[in-house]
Amino acid sequence: MIERFRHAINGKGIVLNLPFYVADAVARALASVHRLFCPTREPLLHPLIVRMFGRTCGHGAQRIYRDRLDEGCERVGFDEALDSSISWFLERG
């Protein structure tokens, strides 16, 4: 999904699929180096981003689906949801 989204918005950079503990350790190391040598710039891999995207928020798919139905939202497929997300992002970019 990330690769498709990145391609659709002409995103730059690379996407790596790493185990959480590896990505977290690398992000913390990069942040330490950046604090010393480039304190005004963000590290290539930020620890906060790893923690936000590297762990589940604790809500299972069934709970999210049930809650969305309770709010009157309809269920859509993956492609439609991704296209909608891409459009939303591009309209604001």
To the question of pTM greater than 0.85 for the whole model, the response is no
| DSSP letter (8 states) at residue 72 | T
**Per-residue pLDDT tens digits for 44-70:** 888 988 888 777 666 677 777 777 676
Q: Establish how many alpha carbons lie within 13 A of residue 15's alpha carbon, considering only the half-sphere containing its beta carbon.
A: 11
Report how far residue 14's alpha carbon sits from residue 82's, in angstroms, rounded to the nearest whole number.
Answer: 19
Report how far residue 78's alpha carbon sits from residue 93's, in angstroms, rounded to the nearest whole number.
Answer: 22
CB 62 within 8 A of CB 85: no
**Per-residue pLDDT tens digits for 17-51:** 889 999 999 999 999 998 899 888 888 888 988 88
Q: Output the pLDDT for position 27.
A: 93
Residue corresponding to tokens 């690769």: 3
In terms of pLDDT, which residue wins out, 71 or 19? 19
